[in-house]
Structure 1
């Protein structure tokens, strides 16, 4: 059984070398993440071109995820690069300070003094430093240290319980969306959305720039959790961004939220990516901790479409070993996945013909001795719908559209295959599909497969036909 859960790997200094990148792809990476918090537009254009070149040479479709930086809610820099804070010490966060010292530090987000009041708790550096606001005077926030430690340049700031007013899309993000469209990104991750309107705006900006990327909402704010359904309805998927989310809602709340988000995404036929610190120890170690193994396995069991690596592959010492370990964990975890297809149909209503055909294909495959399910698709939607229910079989997305091929790289249980010049002759189409599956080595002559397709291939939403086919049997004579 092939690996069902996809792997997203962030590219950076440790993985941009063409040989390393090719090895990562061969080892099991399905989607690469370009982090727009770092690098210039030209860097991302060159990296995307290299990814496409290597993917073509390896013969595997690889998706590209452009991850927007979002608002920079950070402190500024220090004269000495860092300071040490003791419990009870006072620190002023000063929106007008240029270079910080032991007594005060500047702010990249100049509106922070308007967003806080006495008694608020500010969490810096992913919650490692805790400050309590005592007073606010103009551009200055007077705080007392509740949890101390080393504080260095440009560390992030969260307010416990959320409520910071920074917009999700900055001017830089809007420029970066144009870059993402130019490089043909398959997925666009939007940082810190608070409402559905943030996601609608990102989608419109992407379309206006000529892009077709699926939009992924990064759930990082308390406000986003409260508006989860509305945000998901306005998006193509979500990312469980556990770093900032844990700081705002508390780390103990994250596991249950992760399960809820993944479940809701699957129910709404959306995508889910689980991210942050999945294999963090492998940044400096060739083997994961037992806790990390359990973390990745549980995400697989939760039903996530993909698990994501960040610093582990961007700047880590063992990027290839990290991907290899994640592949092994995903494969082992999926052995325990229950097939609950019949239960999955009970509470679902299908109003579209193409979606009903997709579900009928799964039902037929589940109750017959079928080797594989194949969806001939123009956009990838049929394959996505099939992948929302665990049928225990691989789903092959056959398409002549390169954009659909790339976006299916993120769909759990779906294996995209290029089928050029599909045409509209149904008998010829069936034969081409059989030959492509035989060529890929996923079926043999005599195997039973389920095919879904449309009368007019190339037309979005046109899937209306289901065929149960024995590979290699003669086509029926035309009347």
Structure 2
């Protein structure tokens, strides 16, 4: 039985909120559902989270929920006619003090700090870089510009500064309220938009801890600012994972720089035992077409070959015509790419030293199972750490992480090549091992005579206590 290692994150929206469709999408391969807090009310998100949990229960598999915070609104205001056409060479004013709707000469700003963040000669990119303005001068709250690259500009389109340098804080008052909502619905992950440094992530973690009442989500830093690149290692230390958010990032650093940055980010995240999601326009044409372009197929496959934990769908599933077909296509591409991966596990351990017993056991299980050709690797885990460490290495043997902790099970839905299973809490190690094998046999994962590796801690139930590796032959 072929099992896909790479996980799929799908964004929930009007196109995918039907309960039957959502259940079908989960059956087709969605592992984590993203709630985009840029759209909808708090109640919408609470209702959708309930919808996800119910659909997952009907589908007989657990999925994770990711609350994706909006972040600062670095946008223009609205226009009288809803949109205008900018022509190269024309003058255009971005005015933080303007309250009336925009026209051909200028527009107001949602982001009031812009006049302080720019100077003459700076390049501003609007609407994902489709419109380019050059700053001529700043006069009080008004930024006077010349249109370099024209086109249609409509209400509330985003603003980026080439090379980065906008001072907007990563966490707004809305985000702080949204964190309370996310903790109320017990989101498994919270994604923070536009973090510049580790401090932004530490603040988000503190806010989650205060609002969580004991519930601790995984924190994902969305790397979408030029300033975040030199701070990447520090941001990773303060987070549980990153999202390669290629849209805003590409606008700030240039399209051509993004593919190499993607590979660097995925590699660094894996080296630091963090998860990584690759996002933005992965199957964009499937918003309106029933099949992806060849370039999109290559894009998804390359992210898989780079070692990403997950690939993400945004508008494709939130507002597209073919949400279910998109998930099926993406799952098929991931599976094919994984089959082609010729990674040598031995190279991962050359020159490495492990200082923790539990980490050494996890690596020992991978190495032994790989060379024995075991059918499965099983981690009995309370916190999920053992499964996370194992999943940082490309191995063709599926990892089954068994935990008595529902929060841990849902958190592990994002880990590459990890199938999280819920099992009863068992204080006795020998009984736990027997239960684990009966679980595997019942699910058809192993049959009589199959060899599998299993890791466990003694005494049981202590996070970080994994100290035993056992190689078993199924009875």
Q: Give secondary structure in 1 for the equivalent of 2:14.
A: coil
Displacement of 1:49 in angstroms is 1.1
Distance 1:204 1:182 in 2: 15
Aligned to 1:386: 390
Q: Which residue of 1 aligns with 2:21?
A: 20
Are the equivalent residues in 1 in contact too, given 2:15–2:318 (CA < 8 A)? yes
- Shift of the alpha carbon at 1:56? 1.3
Given candidates 169, 194, 198, the residue that maps to 1:196 is 198
CA distance in 1, matches of 2:274, 2:373: 29
Give the aligned partner of residue 164 of structure 1.
166
> How much has 1:424 moved relative to structure 2?
2.2
Kindly indicate whether residue 295 of structure 2 is the aligned counterpart of residue 291 of structure 1.
yes
The residue aligned with 2:64 is 63
SS at match of 1:150: strand
Residue in structure 1 matched with residue 75 of structure 2 by the alignment: 74
The CA deviation string for residues 254-289 of structure 1, in whole angstroms up to 9 with x for no partner, is 000000000000000000000000000000000000
In the aligned structure 2, how far is the partner of 1:392 from the partner of 1:22?
28
**Larger displacement relative to structure 2 (8-17 or 457-466):** 457-466
The equivalent position to 1:457 in structure 2, one of 460, 463, 471, is 460
Q: Which residue of 2 aligns with 1:280?
A: 284
For each residue in 1:177-196, what CA deviation from the matched residue of structure 2 results, as whole angstroms up to 9, or x when unmatched?
A: 11111111111100000000
Q: What SS class does the counterpart of residue 120 from structure 2 fall into?
A: coil
Whether contact under 8 Å (2:428, 2:460) holds in the other structure is no
Give the counterpart of 1:440 among 438, 443, 452: 443
Residues 377-423 of structure 1: CA deviation (Å, up to 9, x unaligned): 011111000010112210000011100110110000001111122x1
Q: CA deviation at 1:435?
A: 0.7
- For residues 106-125 of structure 1, the aligned pairs below 5 Å read 106-125=108-127
Contact 2:88–2:147 under 8 Å retained in 1:
yes
What does residue range 352-391 of structure 1 map to in structure 2 within 5 Å?
352-391=356-395
Q: Which residue number in structure 1 is paired with residue 428 of structure 2?
A: 425
Cα distance in 2 for residues equivalent to 1:347 and 1:254: 30
Q: Given the two structures, how large is their TM-score scaled by the length of structure 1? A: 0.97
1:304 to 295, 303, 308: 308
In structure 2, C-alpha distance between the alignment counterparts of 1:352 and 1:42, rounded to whole Å: 44
1:271 correspondence with 2:272: no
Query: Is the 2:391–2:415 contact (alpha carbons within 8 Å) kept by the matching residues of 1?
Result: yes
Q: Any conservation in 2 of the 1:8–1:29 contact (CA below 8 Å)?
A: yes
Number of the residue aligned with 2:4: 3
Assess if the C-alpha contact under 8 Å between 2:20 and 2:55 holds in 1. Answer: no
CA displacement 1:300-335 (0-9 Å, x = unmatched):
000000000000000000000100100110000001
Of 228, 234, 253, the residue aligned with 1:249 is: 253
- 8 Å CA contact 1:121–1:160 kept in 2: the answer is yes
Cα displacement (A) at 1:104: 0.8
In the alignment, is the contact (CA less than 8 A) between 1:339 and 1:392 conserved in 2? no
Residues of 2 paired with 1:257 and 1:441: CA distance?
Answer: 41
What SS is found at the alignment partner of 2:365?
Answer: helix
Structure 1, unpaired ranges of 5+: 473-479
- Secondary structure at the aligned position of 1:243 is classed as helix
> Deviation string for 1:116-142 (max 9, x for gaps)?
000000000000000000010011000
SS at match of 2:420: strand
CA distance in 1, matches of 2:461, 2:187: 22
Residue 30 of structure 2 is matched in structure 1 by 29
Matched with 2:188 is 186
Distance apart, 1:347 and its partner CA: 3.7
Cα offsets for 1:217-255 (capped at 9, x unmatched):
000001000111111111110000000000000000000
Instruction: Show the counterpart of 1:476.
Output: none
CA distance in 1, matches of 2:305, 2:194: 26
Q: Is the deviation greater in 351-360 or in 126-135?
A: 351-360
CA distance in 1, matches of 2:370, 2:15: 43
The answer for the alignment partner of 1:237 in structure 2 is 241
Instruction: Report the Cα distance in structure 1 between the residues aligned to 2:384 and 2:75, rounded to whole angstroms.
Output: 39
1:144-186 Cα shifts (integer Å, max 9, x gaps): 0000000000000000000000000011111111111111111
Contact 1:341 1:390 in 2 (8 A): yes
Measured in 1, the distance between the counterparts of 2:412 and 2:362 equals 15
TM-score, length-normalised on structure 2? 0.98
State how far apart, in whole Å, the 1-side matches of 2:244 and 2:60 are: 30
**What is the root-mean-square deviation in Å for CA atoms of aligned residues?**
0.8
